[in-house]
Structure 1
Amino acid sequence: MLTSFFSTSKPIHTVIVLLYMSVSYFLANNTLFSDGFSWIVFLQSIGVWFLFILTMFILNFVSQKNELTKRNSYRILLFAIFSSALPVALQSPKIMIAGVFVMLALRRILSFRSGLHMERKLFDAGFWLCLACITYFWTGTFFVLIFAGLLFYGGATLRYWFIPLLSVICVAVLCTCYVIYIGEDQSFVLDVVDDFSFDFSSYTSLQILIPIAVFLTLFLWTIFRYIQDSKRATIAQRPLYLLVMFMAFIALGIITITEAKTGAEWYFFLIPLAIMITNYLENAPGKFFKEFLLWILVLLPFTHYFLS
């Protein structure tokens, strides 16, 4: 049974999830060499695959270190399932690169709770989010997480609030130096900034609509239980629950305002969703229902290939 098998954390679980993610990624990108083999395309695809796997490992590390979930393999399995259900995200190098940067920033933000090396953590979080913003503009809204983390940990220290601004200035200076070095003009800023749109007509495709409907249903199903669990958590742990929920709502905000609504933008929502559903599977009664739910989710990515 899946729930029993993945209820612990063992190397074999990681290997299975890695194989699942790898098969999903290369199936999603099976047309890369339709015009003939290219070493450049091959190396790029391997690099993006590595970032996809790296995101999973960072999520696993962050969840375990900050005790966002118990010691099991649900979180990595769910992340693999959700991302595999959106092949369009796996076909977008920009999304995958920005996803790694966001996870690296989240790792630093959640570590605010220790109170140690706050200046370094604030700068690092801002730096990673700046890189994410350059890659995919609207991920810059995750800067809200930095200031939310400050409200919970160390907000009384005034200088902390200015450190993320220093990281923005630092990245801006580095980008300017690079542009000057390669002989381009400053118009590169216009290429970074994306427009916003509230046109959701692209979601009419069943290949995108079905996984999105499942994601939203799961989110609405678990959000209230997650809020209740946060109230029962210790005082030290409660802000971490709130930060995960903030991340989910910020990701929904990105989905709402981004201009290119291809479905790939839901990738950022999958990270907090995987944590919340893992929390639900750990604590919800009804073993048969949880087993049924997990099997449905495992089969979810295959609906894309039946509908194509």
Structure 2
Amino acid sequence: MITSIFNKSKPINFTIVFFITLLAFITLNVKYVKAPITGSFFLTQSFLFFVCFFSILVLSFIVGKNSLTQRSNYEIVLYSLFLLALPQTLSNPDIIYANFFVLLGYRRIISLRSQTNVKKKLFDAAFWLAIAALFYFWSILFFVLIIVTLVLYTDNNIRHWLIPFSGLLTVFLITISISIICYDSYFEIFNSLPEVSYNFSNYNSLQYVVIITMLFSFGSWASIFYIKNIKQKKKAFRPSYYVVLFAVILGFLIIVFAPNKNGSEFLFLFSPLAIIMANYIEIVQEKWFKELFLLVIIIVPFVILLL
């Protein structure tokens, strides 16, 4: 019964996702931040909420436009439930902005499937990812997806390999110019530096143990079937599916490298992981198992709220 609600793209699904995301923001501010409610605080949180919700709409557009699922809304529901399960992912505005620009980069990378306007798409993808890196340095790892895509399409055009780097250089030069004008310094504007920390002690709590276990176990199980299912896709669609798989790996690496492990770094993992798990839910034949799989993912965030 639960799966029948989300197995087709319907307006009601976006309404449900809207309220789940809103609940995640409320949970963050009531249970974890506990900041005084002022006018500026309310406006800031409202803006962040709409950036986050718009990111979900971008995710839905990417999936629908490139046929990454079977026209269901599982991916956006899973994404919003991940947010509710780990509302700390919404605690860092810079990561929320970076994730939004990473999704814009995804959109251009995956759209290379059509093999039209390739140069423009490569430049745009690198441009958006470079902007994401201005907010959170380690999001630059997703630049690897551009290289992976060119390899998957066996693109031997040397210009196509150089264009992404010109996109990075463009953002770098614009940023330096703004820094000189505003701060009379070349690098003052760069507030995201390549720091690394391997201290995972912040994850030593029941909430993190439960959520990480769920994401790792369910994600690993779904990934096995996802990889098997790629072989059944049309040849033109396969690179897009591999890009999603590599995005999960890069999202995991960001969690490992994150200098401040407060939970917000998991946000980069949610989009590709939601796509993989949505694919798994769609291909499961046993309806009872499909219902149970999704039910557990729905129940866990609400149980966590009570801890």
Normalising to structure 1: TM-score of the pair?
0.94
**Which whole-Å CA distance do the structure 1 matches of 2:33 and 2:264 have between them?**
21
**Which whole-Å CA distance do the structure 1 matches of 2:223 and 2:98 have between them?**
25
Q: Could you tell me which residue of structure 2 aligns to residue 142 of structure 1?
A: 142
Structure 1 residues 80 and 37: alpha-carbon distance in aligned structure 2, compared to 1, 3 A threshold: closer
Deviations 1:16-54 (A, max 9, x none): 111121122222123799664433222211111011101
Q: Could you tell me which residue of structure 2 aligns to residue 24 of structure 1?
A: 24
Deviations 1:202-251 (A, max 9, x none): 11111222111100011111111111100111111111111111101111
Deviations 1:226-284 (A, max 9, x none): 11100111111111111111101111111112221122211111111111111111111
Q: Deviating runs (4+, > 6 A) in structure 1? A: none
* 63-72 or 161-170, which deviates more: 161-170
**Which whole-Å CA distance do the structure 2 matches of 1:270 and 1:44 have between them?**
23
Which letter does structure 2 place at the counterpart of 1:63? V
**Which whole-Å CA distance do the structure 2 matches of 1:94 and 1:121 have between them?**
25
The alignment partner of 1:196 has SS state of: coil
Structure 1 residues 155 and 303: alpha-carbon distance in aligned structure 2, compared to 1, 3 A threshold: same
Which letter does structure 2 place at the counterpart of 1:94? D
Q: Could you tell me which residue of structure 2 aligns to residue 288 of structure 1?
A: 288
Q: Could you tell me which residue of structure 1 aligns to residue 91 of structure 2?
A: 91
Offset at 1:108? 0.1
Offset at 1:121? 0.7
Offset at 1:106? 0.1
**Which whole-Å CA distance do the structure 2 matches of 1:9 and 1:108 have between them?**
22
Q: Is the 2:179–2:185 contact (alpha carbons within 8 Å) kept by the matching residues of 1?
A: yes
**Which whole-Å CA distance do the structure 1 matches of 2:151 and 2:86 have between them?**
34
Q: Could you tell me which residue of structure 1 aligns to residue 200 of structure 2?
A: 200
Structure 1 residues 33 and 203: alpha-carbon distance in aligned structure 2, compared to 1, 3 A threshold: closer
Q: Is the 1:130–1:140 contact (alpha carbons within 8 Å) kept by the matching residues of 2?
A: yes
Structure 1 residues 304 and 186: alpha-carbon distance in aligned structure 2, compared to 1, 3 A threshold: farther
Structure 1 residues 34 and 271: alpha-carbon distance in aligned structure 2, compared to 1, 3 A threshold: closer
Offset at 1:190? 6.4
In structure 2, list runs of 5 or more residues that go unmatched: none
Deviations 1:168-213 (A, max 9, x none): 1111111112111212423437642131122211111112221111
**Which whole-Å CA distance do the structure 2 matches of 1:32 and 1:41 have between them?**
15
Q: Is the 1:98–1:135 contact (alpha carbons within 8 Å) kept by the matching residues of 2?
A: yes
**Which whole-Å CA distance do the structure 2 matches of 1:304 and 1:59 have between them?**
25
% of aligned pairs identical? Answer: 34
**Which whole-Å CA distance do the structure 2 matches of 1:176 and 1:31 have between them?**
39
Q: Could you tell me which residue of structure 2 aligns to residue 3 of structure 1?
A: 3
The alignment partner of 2:306 has SS state of: helix
**Which whole-Å CA distance do the structure 2 matches of 1:10 and 1:200 have between them?**
40
Q: Could you tell me which residue of structure 2 aligns to residue 269 of structure 1?
A: 269
Q: Could you tell me which residue of structure 1 aligns to residue 230 of structure 2?
A: 230
Q: Could you tell me which residue of structure 2 aligns to residue 257 of structure 1?
A: 257
RMSD: 1.8
Structure 1 residues 35 and 244: alpha-carbon distance in aligned structure 2, compared to 1, 3 A threshold: closer
Q: Could you tell me which residue of structure 1 aligns to residue 160 of structure 2?
A: 160
Number of aligned residue pairs: give it.
307
Normalising to structure 2: TM-score of the pair?
0.95
Q: Could you tell me which residue of structure 1 aligns to residue 53 of structure 2?
A: 53
Which letter does structure 2 place at the counterpart of 1:240? S
Q: Could you tell me which residue of structure 1 aligns to residue 62 of structure 2?
A: 62
Which letter does structure 1 place at the counterpart of 2:167? S
The alignment partner of 2:235 has SS state of: coil
The alignment partner of 2:168 has SS state of: helix
Q: Is the 1:29–1:90 contact (alpha carbons within 8 Å) kept by the matching residues of 2?
A: no
Q: Is the 2:179–2:187 contact (alpha carbons within 8 Å) kept by the matching residues of 1?
A: no
Q: Is the 1:84–1:90 contact (alpha carbons within 8 Å) kept by the matching residues of 2?
A: no
* 168-177 or 56-65, which deviates more: 168-177
Offset at 1:58? 0.7
Q: Could you tell me which residue of structure 2 aligns to residue 81 of structure 1?
A: 81
Which letter does structure 2 place at the counterpart of 1:74? Y
**Which whole-Å CA distance do the structure 2 matches of 1:201 and 1:35 have between them?**
24
Structure 1 residues 165 and 127: alpha-carbon distance in aligned structure 2, compared to 1, 3 A threshold: same
